Structure 1
Amino acid sequence: MPETIYDALRESHEIQRSLCRKLLRSKPGTAARADIFKQLRVELAAHEAAEERYLYVPMLMDDMGLSASRHALHEHHELDELVEDLQVTDKSGSGWMATAKKLSEKVHHHLREEEKKFFQVSGKIISEVQKVKLAKSYRRDYERVLKLAGRSGA
Protein backbone atom coordinates (compact mmCIF):
# COMPACT_ATOMS: atom_id res chain seq x y z
CA MET A 1 0.00 0.00 0.00
CA PRO A 2 1.54 3.35 -1.00
CA GLU A 3 2.30 6.02 1.59
CA THR A 4 -0.38 8.69 2.03
CA ILE A 5 -0.06 12.26 3.24
CA TYR A 6 -1.31 11.07 6.64
CA ASP A 7 1.50 8.53 7.01
CA ALA A 8 4.10 11.21 6.25
CA LEU A 9 2.51 13.70 8.65
CA ARG A 10 2.24 11.18 11.49
CA GLU A 11 5.96 10.44 11.18
CA SER A 12 6.77 14.11 11.77
CA HIS A 13 4.17 14.27 14.55
CA GLU A 14 6.03 11.51 16.43
CA ILE A 15 9.33 13.38 16.03
CA GLN A 16 7.69 16.52 17.44
CA ARG A 17 6.23 14.64 20.42
CA SER A 18 9.59 13.06 21.20
CA LEU A 19 11.48 16.36 20.95
CA CYS A 20 8.95 18.08 23.21
CA ARG A 21 9.40 15.38 25.85
CA LYS A 22 13.20 15.64 25.61
CA LEU A 23 13.08 19.43 25.81
CA LEU A 24 11.03 19.38 29.00
CA ARG A 25 13.49 16.92 30.57
CA SER A 26 16.57 18.92 29.53
CA LYS A 27 18.81 20.61 32.08
CA PRO A 28 18.89 24.43 32.26
CA GLY A 29 21.80 26.20 30.60
CA THR A 30 23.13 23.10 28.81
CA ALA A 31 24.21 22.67 25.22
CA ALA A 32 21.85 19.67 25.10
CA ARG A 33 18.85 21.93 25.83
CA ALA A 34 19.91 24.38 23.11
CA ASP A 35 20.40 21.51 20.64
CA ILE A 36 17.03 19.89 21.40
CA PHE A 37 15.31 23.25 21.08
CA LYS A 38 16.99 23.84 17.72
CA GLN A 39 15.92 20.38 16.50
CA LEU A 40 12.33 21.07 17.57
CA ARG A 41 12.34 24.55 16.00
CA VAL A 42 13.64 23.17 12.69
CA GLU A 43 11.22 20.22 12.75
CA LEU A 44 8.23 22.46 13.41
CA ALA A 45 9.26 24.91 10.67
CA ALA A 46 9.73 22.19 8.05
CA HIS A 47 6.56 20.34 9.02
CA GLU A 48 4.37 23.44 9.14
CA ALA A 49 5.56 24.79 5.79
CA ALA A 50 5.10 21.52 3.92
CA GLU A 51 1.84 20.65 5.69
CA GLU A 52 0.33 24.04 4.95
CA ARG A 53 1.23 23.72 1.26
CA TYR A 54 0.24 20.10 0.73
CA LEU A 55 -2.64 19.53 3.12
CA TYR A 56 -4.13 22.85 4.18
CA VAL A 57 -4.15 24.47 0.73
CA PRO A 58 -6.12 21.60 -0.87
CA MET A 59 -8.47 21.74 2.13
CA LEU A 60 -8.99 25.49 1.76
CA MET A 61 -10.24 24.89 -1.78
CA ASP A 62 -13.29 23.01 -0.47
CA ASP A 63 -16.03 24.63 1.63
CA MET A 64 -16.07 21.62 3.95
CA GLY A 65 -12.38 22.18 4.78
CA LEU A 66 -12.37 25.95 5.31
CA SER A 67 -13.09 26.12 9.03
CA ALA A 68 -10.74 23.28 10.01
CA SER A 69 -7.92 24.67 7.85
CA ARG A 70 -8.27 28.17 9.26
CA HIS A 71 -8.20 26.78 12.78
CA ALA A 72 -5.11 24.68 12.07
CA LEU A 73 -3.31 27.65 10.46
CA HIS A 74 -4.13 29.75 13.53
CA GLU A 75 -2.60 27.08 15.77
CA HIS A 76 0.55 27.00 13.62
CA HIS A 77 0.82 30.76 14.10
CA GLU A 78 0.52 30.35 17.89
CA LEU A 79 3.27 27.71 17.84
CA ASP A 80 5.51 30.01 15.79
CA GLU A 81 5.04 32.82 18.31
CA LEU A 82 6.00 30.56 21.22
CA VAL A 83 9.10 29.36 19.34
CA GLU A 84 9.99 32.99 18.68
CA ASP A 85 9.61 33.79 22.39
CA LEU A 86 11.88 30.89 23.28
CA GLN A 87 14.56 32.07 20.86
CA VAL A 88 14.96 35.42 22.62
CA THR A 89 14.54 34.31 26.23
CA ASP A 90 17.43 33.08 28.40
CA LYS A 91 17.30 29.29 28.06
CA SER A 92 18.40 28.73 31.67
CA GLY A 93 15.63 30.72 33.38
CA SER A 94 12.34 29.48 34.82
CA GLY A 95 10.42 31.72 32.41
CA TRP A 96 11.95 29.86 29.50
CA MET A 97 10.82 26.50 30.87
CA ALA A 98 7.30 27.83 31.49
CA THR A 99 7.12 28.90 27.85
CA ALA A 100 8.62 25.58 26.72
CA LYS A 101 5.89 23.74 28.67
CA LYS A 102 3.24 25.91 27.02
CA LEU A 103 4.76 25.12 23.61
CA SER A 104 4.77 21.39 24.36
CA GLU A 105 1.14 21.49 25.48
CA LYS A 106 0.11 23.40 22.34
CA VAL A 107 2.08 21.03 20.08
CA HIS A 108 0.45 17.98 21.69
CA HIS A 109 -3.02 19.56 21.51
CA HIS A 110 -2.56 20.52 17.85
CA LEU A 111 -1.29 17.07 16.83
CA ARG A 112 -4.14 15.30 18.65
CA GLU A 113 -6.70 17.58 17.06
CA GLU A 114 -5.19 17.10 13.62
CA GLU A 115 -5.08 13.32 13.88
CA LYS A 116 -8.53 12.92 15.46
CA LYS A 117 -10.52 15.59 13.59
CA PHE A 118 -8.68 17.24 10.71
CA PHE A 119 -7.49 14.02 9.05
CA GLN A 120 -11.08 12.73 9.05
CA VAL A 121 -12.46 15.90 7.44
CA SER A 122 -9.68 16.04 4.85
CA GLY A 123 -10.10 12.34 4.13
CA LYS A 124 -13.60 13.07 2.83
CA ILE A 125 -12.31 15.82 0.53
CA ILE A 126 -9.04 14.45 -0.82
CA SER A 127 -9.12 11.46 -3.16
CA GLU A 128 -7.02 8.34 -2.56
CA VAL A 129 -4.83 9.18 -5.57
CA GLN A 130 -4.33 12.73 -4.28
CA LYS A 131 -3.38 11.43 -0.81
CA VAL A 132 -0.48 9.48 -2.36
CA LYS A 133 0.62 12.37 -4.60
CA LEU A 134 0.42 14.83 -1.72
CA ALA A 135 2.62 12.55 0.41
CA LYS A 136 5.38 12.69 -2.22
CA SER A 137 5.09 16.47 -2.56
CA TYR A 138 5.01 16.90 1.21
CA ARG A 139 8.14 14.74 1.67
CA ARG A 140 10.08 16.69 -0.98
CA ASP A 141 9.16 20.06 0.47
CA TYR A 142 9.63 18.92 4.07
CA GLU A 143 13.20 17.79 3.32
CA ARG A 144 13.94 21.02 1.45
CA VAL A 145 12.66 23.24 4.27
CA LEU A 146 14.34 21.05 6.90
CA LYS A 147 17.70 21.77 5.25
CA LEU A 148 16.98 25.49 4.90
CA ALA A 149 15.74 25.88 8.47
CA GLY A 150 18.69 23.89 9.81
CA ARG A 151 21.14 26.23 8.09
CA SER A 152 19.51 29.36 9.46
CA GLY A 153 20.95 28.71 12.95
CA ALA A 154 19.33 28.65 16.37
Structure 2
Amino acid sequence: MNIYKAIKDDHDIQRDLCAKILKTSGESEERKKLWEDLKKELEVHEVAEERYFYSPLIDTDKMQEDARHGMAEHHEMDEFIEELDDTDMSSPHWMATLKKLAEKVEHHLKDEEEEFFKKAKTVYSEAEEKSLAKSYEQTMSEYRSSWPESIPGKE
Protein backbone atom coordinates (compact mmCIF):
# COMPACT_ATOMS: atom_id res chain seq x y z
CA MET A 1 0.00 0.00 0.00
CA ASN A 2 1.23 3.49 -0.80
CA ILE A 3 -0.12 6.87 0.30
CA TYR A 4 -1.92 7.45 -3.01
CA LYS A 5 -3.85 4.16 -2.85
CA ALA A 6 -4.70 4.72 0.83
CA ILE A 7 -6.07 8.20 0.10
CA LYS A 8 -7.87 7.05 -3.08
CA ASP A 9 -9.63 4.28 -1.15
CA ASP A 10 -11.00 6.89 1.25
CA HIS A 11 -11.95 9.17 -1.65
CA ASP A 12 -14.15 6.35 -2.94
CA ILE A 13 -15.92 6.21 0.44
CA GLN A 14 -16.50 9.98 0.34
CA ARG A 15 -17.88 9.82 -3.20
CA ASP A 16 -20.22 7.00 -2.21
CA LEU A 17 -21.50 8.86 0.86
CA CYS A 18 -22.03 12.07 -1.13
CA ALA A 19 -23.97 10.19 -3.81
CA LYS A 20 -26.15 8.45 -1.24
CA ILE A 21 -26.97 11.54 0.81
CA LEU A 22 -27.83 13.55 -2.30
CA LYS A 23 -30.61 11.01 -2.98
CA THR A 24 -32.25 11.54 0.41
CA SER A 25 -35.01 13.96 1.29
CA GLY A 26 -36.34 15.70 4.37
CA GLU A 27 -35.11 15.08 7.88
CA SER A 28 -35.14 11.31 7.51
CA GLU A 29 -33.19 8.89 9.68
CA GLU A 30 -31.27 7.82 6.57
CA ARG A 31 -30.21 11.42 5.85
CA LYS A 32 -29.21 12.00 9.48
CA LYS A 33 -27.08 8.82 9.52
CA LEU A 34 -25.45 9.52 6.17
CA TRP A 35 -24.73 13.11 7.20
CA GLU A 36 -23.02 12.00 10.41
CA ASP A 37 -21.02 9.39 8.47
CA LEU A 38 -19.97 11.91 5.82
CA LYS A 39 -18.94 14.51 8.39
CA LYS A 40 -16.86 11.99 10.33
CA GLU A 41 -15.26 10.65 7.18
CA LEU A 42 -14.35 14.12 5.91
CA GLU A 43 -13.01 15.16 9.31
CA VAL A 44 -10.69 12.20 9.83
CA HIS A 45 -9.58 12.24 6.21
CA GLU A 46 -8.69 15.91 6.47
CA VAL A 47 -6.61 15.35 9.61
CA ALA A 48 -4.75 12.34 8.23
CA GLU A 49 -4.27 13.79 4.76
CA GLU A 50 -2.90 17.08 6.03
CA ARG A 51 -0.59 15.29 8.45
CA TYR A 52 0.73 12.57 6.12
CA PHE A 53 0.35 13.94 2.62
CA TYR A 54 0.29 17.73 2.61
CA SER A 55 2.51 18.69 5.56
CA PRO A 56 5.62 16.97 4.22
CA LEU A 57 5.03 18.62 0.83
CA ILE A 58 4.78 22.19 2.20
CA ASP A 59 8.58 22.35 2.40
CA THR A 60 9.08 21.49 -1.27
CA ASP A 61 9.11 24.10 -4.00
CA LYS A 62 7.42 21.65 -6.39
CA MET A 63 4.37 21.08 -4.22
CA GLN A 64 4.10 23.99 -1.78
CA GLU A 65 1.38 25.83 -3.72
CA ASP A 66 -0.60 22.63 -4.32
CA ALA A 67 -0.36 21.60 -0.66
CA ARG A 68 -1.60 25.00 0.47
CA HIS A 69 -4.41 24.85 -2.10
CA GLY A 70 -5.48 21.41 -0.88
CA MET A 71 -5.54 22.53 2.75
CA ALA A 72 -7.48 25.67 1.82
CA GLU A 73 -10.09 23.46 0.16
CA HIS A 74 -10.34 21.46 3.37
CA HIS A 75 -11.14 24.71 5.16
CA GLU A 76 -13.84 25.53 2.59
CA MET A 77 -15.41 22.10 3.17
CA ASP A 78 -15.32 22.74 6.93
CA GLU A 79 -17.28 25.96 6.36
CA PHE A 80 -19.94 24.11 4.35
CA ILE A 81 -20.19 21.49 7.09
CA GLU A 82 -20.64 24.19 9.71
CA GLU A 83 -23.33 25.87 7.62
CA LEU A 84 -25.13 22.55 7.13
CA ASP A 85 -25.02 21.83 10.87
CA ASP A 86 -26.62 25.23 11.50
CA THR A 87 -29.39 24.72 8.91
CA ASP A 88 -32.67 22.83 9.21
CA MET A 89 -32.05 19.54 7.43
CA SER A 90 -35.49 19.57 5.81
CA SER A 91 -35.06 23.02 4.25
CA PRO A 92 -34.25 23.58 0.58
CA HIS A 93 -31.22 25.62 1.71
CA TRP A 94 -29.76 22.53 3.40
CA MET A 95 -29.88 20.51 0.18
CA ALA A 96 -28.53 23.41 -1.88
CA THR A 97 -25.59 23.74 0.53
CA LEU A 98 -25.05 19.99 0.52
CA LYS A 99 -24.80 20.09 -3.27
CA LYS A 100 -22.14 22.80 -2.98
CA LEU A 101 -20.24 20.67 -0.46
CA ALA A 102 -20.47 17.59 -2.71
CA GLU A 103 -19.18 19.64 -5.66
CA LYS A 104 -16.29 20.95 -3.57
CA VAL A 105 -15.47 17.44 -2.37
CA GLU A 106 -15.48 16.09 -5.94
CA HIS A 107 -13.35 19.00 -7.19
CA HIS A 108 -10.85 18.42 -4.37
CA LEU A 109 -10.63 14.67 -4.98
CA LYS A 110 -10.16 15.21 -8.70
CA ASP A 111 -7.35 17.76 -8.09
CA GLU A 112 -5.54 15.29 -5.89
CA GLU A 113 -6.00 12.21 -8.05
CA GLU A 114 -5.31 13.85 -11.41
CA GLU A 115 -2.67 16.43 -10.50
CA PHE A 116 -1.28 16.37 -6.97
CA PHE A 117 -0.53 12.64 -6.82
CA LYS A 118 1.49 12.82 -10.05
CA LYS A 119 3.56 15.73 -8.74
CA ALA A 120 4.01 14.16 -5.32
CA LYS A 121 5.43 11.02 -6.96
CA THR A 122 8.37 13.18 -8.08
CA VAL A 123 8.94 14.23 -4.46
CA TYR A 124 8.33 11.10 -2.38
CA SER A 125 10.47 7.98 -2.67
CA GLU A 126 8.74 4.61 -2.82
CA ALA A 127 9.79 3.95 0.79
CA GLU A 128 8.33 7.30 1.88
CA GLU A 129 5.08 6.55 0.04
CA LYS A 130 4.75 3.27 1.95
CA SER A 131 5.73 4.79 5.30
CA LEU A 132 3.29 7.67 4.88
CA ALA A 133 0.52 5.22 3.94
CA LYS A 134 1.15 3.20 7.10
CA SER A 135 0.93 6.30 9.31
CA TYR A 136 -2.08 7.60 7.39
CA GLU A 137 -3.95 4.30 7.70
CA GLN A 138 -3.09 4.00 11.39
CA THR A 139 -4.55 7.45 12.08
CA MET A 140 -7.66 6.65 10.03
CA SER A 141 -8.10 3.36 11.89
CA GLU A 142 -7.68 4.97 15.32
CA TYR A 143 -10.26 7.65 14.56
CA ARG A 144 -12.72 5.20 13.03
CA SER A 145 -12.45 2.76 15.92
CA SER A 146 -13.61 5.51 18.28
CA TRP A 147 -16.89 5.98 16.34
CA PRO A 148 -20.02 4.26 17.59
CA GLU A 149 -20.64 2.73 14.16
CA SER A 150 -18.16 2.27 11.37
CA ILE A 151 -18.40 3.99 8.02
CA PRO A 152 -19.77 1.79 5.22
CA GLY A 153 -16.95 0.31 3.20
CA LYS A 154 -14.38 0.43 6.01
CA GLU A 155 -15.82 -2.20 8.35
Quote the RMSD (CA, aligned, Å).
1.0
1:86 pairs with one of 84, 87, 91: 84
| 1:146 to partner: Cα distance | 3.0
Question: Runs in 1 of length 4+ with deviation above 4 angstroms?
Answer: none
**Residue equivalent to 1:65:** 63
**Residue equivalent to 2:36:** 38
**Residue equivalent to 1:14:** 12
**Residue equivalent to 2:95:** 97
Provide the secondary structure at the position in 1 that maps to 2:88.
Answer: coil
| 1:65 to partner: Cα distance | 1.1
Letter in 2 for 1:36: L
Q: Which runs of 5+ in 1 are unaligned?
A: none
2:49 pairs with one of 34, 41, 51: 51
Give the distance between the partners of 1:95 and 1:81, measured in 2 at CA.
15
| 1:59 to partner: Cα distance | 0.6
**1:84-116 deviation line (CA, Å, top 9, x unaligned):** 111111000000000000000000010001100
| 1:145 to partner: Cα distance | 2.6
Length-normalised TM-score, structure 1: 0.93
Give the distance between the partners of 2:106 and 2:131, measured in 1 at CA.
27
**1:21-69 deviation line (CA, Å, top 9, x unaligned):** 0110012110110100000000000111000000001111211110000
Q: Is the CA contact 1:49–1:145 (under 8 Å) kept in the aligned structure 2?
A: no
Length-normalised TM-score, structure 2: 0.92
**Residue equivalent to 1:143:** 141
Provide the secondary structure at the position in 2 that maps to 1:115.
Answer: helix
Give the distance between the partners of 1:36 and 1:147, measured in 2 at CA.
18
What fraction of aligned residue pairs are identical, expressed as a percent?
Answer: 42
Q: Which runs of 5+ in 2 are unaligned?
A: 149-155
Q: How many residues are matched?
A: 148
**Residue equivalent to 1:119:** 117
**Residue equivalent to 1:77:** 75
1:5 pairs with one of 3, 8, 14: 3
Give the distance between the partners of 1:79 and 1:147, measured in 2 at CA.
23
Q: Is the CA contact 1:86–1:99 (under 8 Å) kept in the aligned structure 2?
A: yes
